[in-house]
């Protein structure tokens, strides 16, 4: 939650701003620990909340991986946790993570455990990380858990960067296309239009169509933008409803190549997270409860829910997940072997690595397919603009040569 404060600081100056805390009491404690005299402190809500939100509210996975790795080293070295967090905060380059570590440091300084202090940053840190830190503290394996989490978020970062790099080419071509349109409409087309009208000539049909389209957009552009914005907002709200989100996710999973890549990403994440929880020696039902919210897709989420119900009734994991079409036979086979041999954690890591490689290969194929498609689209579009420019010039040249004769 965000709280707007107005306080008198240590230098006896009145200052104001916004701080984050789990509730009003936690926000009040933060102010007291900073040696502030509170003038006013209230929860930010409504429009104010929207205005104070930033696009980088959550800490980047890359930064979380670095934080987990450094925390693990610090705990293994036997360093004082409060002093260690203070050092980490001063060394962090990510400003958002620096704020979060500051909140954790204040919590640990007043006697809270690391997991309790991290829960004050629930909006910024993943629930998975907080839950596993709690398990690590209870089992005495906190350093081991943090090492595993560092590896997990490094891998998630790698996959996300791969996906982002796959989108670079289409984005660049789209920007080029928009640049061509702006250049054509603002500089070239007006010159040609004025020249032809000055000569008393009619514009060719393709050029006239473009001019009419531009005129229509200029007259109705605001209404179109508002309508599209309203439609997009409505669609976003509709697809937040689980029933409709399920249909959207199911549709996306059936798109050739894209759907296969999405499925591979989900299975890799599912297997890696399952291995993490198994390493922490949690019972299987709480593990599956957490996995429901991590897969990031309604189709596998409901598959996990159904499998969990069967496991509660006494089925093995392999049989429970074997009845779900979403999960490939390879995953089910590895689950079965893992249950028989007691090597489930190790085999789930192998499954995750296998599907990570499939994601890399699949994204490479997707990029290889998208590049020529976008090249053709740009070519057709640019060709249309060239025709719209060339036809009037050709007509003028014909008119001039006809006049000379």
The predicted-structure confidence for 40-68, as pLDDT tens digits, reads as follows 888 776 444 444 444 346 889 999 999 99
How far apart (Å, rounded) are the C-alpha atoms in residues 284 and 282? Answer: 6
What is the per-residue pLDDT for 166? 74
- Is residue 339 within 8 Å of 330, Cβ to Cβ? no
Q: What is the number of other CB atoms lying within 10 angstroms of the CB of residue 194? A: 10
What is the per-residue pLDDT for 404? 47
What is the per-residue pLDDT for 15? 75
**If you search the block for the tokens 């962090």, which residue do you land on?**
92
- Specify the DSSP element, H or E, that contains 264: helix 258-279
What is the per-residue pLDDT for 89? 85
Q: Give the list of residues 6+ apart from residue 36 with CB closer than 8 angstroms, or none.
A: 5, 7, 8, 9, 10
Beta pairing partners, 8: 14, 37
Q: Lowest-pLDDT range, 46-50, 240-244, 389-393?
A: 46-50
User: What is this structure's pTM?
Assistant: 0.71
Whether residue 213 is predicted with pLDDT greater than 90 in this model: the reply is no
What is the per-residue pLDDT for 50? 43
What is the per-residue pLDDT for 251? 94
Of all residues in the chain, what percent are helix, strand and coil, respectively (each to 5)?
A: 75, 5, 20
Mean pLDDT of all residues in 369-390 = 82
Q: Give the list of residues 6+ apart from residue 20 with CB closer than 8 angstroms, or none.
A: 1, 2, 3, 99, 103, 120, 121, 123, 124
- Is residue 131 within 8 Å of 290, Cβ to Cβ? yes
What is the per-residue pLDDT for 22? 62
What is the per-residue pLDDT for 56? 42
Mean predicted lDDT score pLDDT of the chain: 83
How far apart (Å, rounded) are the C-alpha atoms in residues 19 and 1? Answer: 8
How far apart (Å, rounded) are the C-alpha atoms in residues 151 and 157? Answer: 10
Provide the 3-class DSSP secondary structure of residue 282.
Answer: coil
Mean pLDDT of all residues in 95-116 = 88
Identify which has the larger pLDDT, 331 or 88.
Answer: 331
Q: In what order do the strands lie in the sheet with 2-8?
A: 14-20, 2-8, 37-43
What is the per-residue pLDDT for 49? 47
Beta pairing partners, 15: 7
Whether residue 104 is predicted with pLDDT greater than 70 in this model: the reply is yes
Whether residue 142 is predicted with pLDDT greater than 70 in this model: the reply is yes
- Specify the DSSP element, H or E, that contains 119: helix 114-119
Share of the chain above pLDDT 90, in %: 27
- Is residue 69 within 8 Å of 35, Cβ to Cβ? no
Q: Lowest-pLDDT range, 64-78, 132-146, 383-397?
A: 383-397
pLDDT tens profile 257-306: 889 999 999 999 899 889 888 887 778 888 888 888 788 789 999 999 99
What is the per-residue pLDDT for 328? 93
Mean pLDDT of all residues in 155-182 = 82
Going by pLDDT thresholds of 50, 70 and 90, the confidence category of residue 205 is confident
How far apart (Å, rounded) are the C-alpha atoms in residues 349 and 238? Answer: 36
Identify which has the larger pLDDT, 402 or 151.
Answer: 151
What is the per-residue pLDDT for 52? 44
Sign of CA dihedral 100, 106, 108, 109: positive
């Amino acid at each position: 939650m965000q709280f707007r404060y107005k306080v008198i600081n240590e230098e006896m100056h009145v200052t104001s701003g916004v701080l984050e805390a789990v509730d009003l009491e936690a926000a009040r404690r933060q102010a007291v620990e900073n040696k502030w005299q509170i003038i006013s402190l209230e929860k930010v809500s409504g429009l104010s909340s929207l205005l104070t939100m930033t696009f980088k509210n959550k800490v980047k996975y890359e930064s979380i991986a670095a934080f987990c790795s450094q925390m693990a080293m610090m705990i293994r070295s036997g360093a004082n946790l409060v002093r260690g967090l203070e050092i980490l905060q001063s060394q962090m380059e990510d400003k958002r993570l620096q704020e979060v570590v500051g909140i954790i440091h204040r919590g640990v300084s007043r006697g809270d455990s690391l997991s309790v202090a991290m829960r004050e940053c629930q909006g910024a840190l993943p629930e998975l990380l907080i839950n596993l830190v709690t398990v690590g503290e209870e089992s005495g394996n906190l350093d081991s858990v943090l090492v595993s989490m560092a590896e997990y978020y490094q891998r998630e970062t790698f996959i996300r960067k791969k996906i982002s790099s796959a989108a670079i080419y289409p984005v660049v071509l789209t920007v080029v296309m928009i640049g061509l349109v702006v250049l054509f409409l603002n500089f070239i087309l007006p010159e040609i239009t004025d020249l032809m009208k000055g000569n008393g000539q009619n514009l060719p049909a393709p050029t006239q169509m473009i001019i009419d389209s531009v005129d229509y957009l200029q007259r109705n552009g605001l209404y179109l933008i508002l309508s599209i914005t309203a439609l997009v907002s409505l669609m976003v709200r509709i697809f937040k409803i689980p029933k409709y989100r399920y249909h959207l996710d199911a549709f996306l999973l059936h798109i050739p190549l894209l759907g296969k890549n999405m499925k591979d990403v989900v299975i890799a994440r599912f297997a890696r997270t399952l291995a993490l929880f198994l390493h922490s020696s949690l019972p299987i039902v709480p593990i599956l409860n957490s996995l429901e919210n991590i897969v990031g897709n309604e189709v596998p989420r409901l598959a996990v829910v159904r499998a969990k119900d069967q496991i509660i009734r006494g089925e093995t994991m392999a049989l429970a997940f074997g009845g779900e079409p979403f999960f490939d036979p390879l995953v089910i086979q590895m689950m079965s072997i893992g249950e028989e041999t007691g090597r489930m954690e190790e085999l789930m890591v192998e499954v995750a690595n296998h599907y990570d490689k499939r994601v890399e290969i699949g994204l490479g194929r997707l990029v290889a397919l998208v590049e020529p498609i976008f090249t053709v689209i740009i070519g057709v579009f640019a060709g249309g603009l060239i025709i719209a420019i060339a036809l009037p010039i050709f007509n003028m040249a014909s008119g001039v040569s006809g006049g000379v004769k």
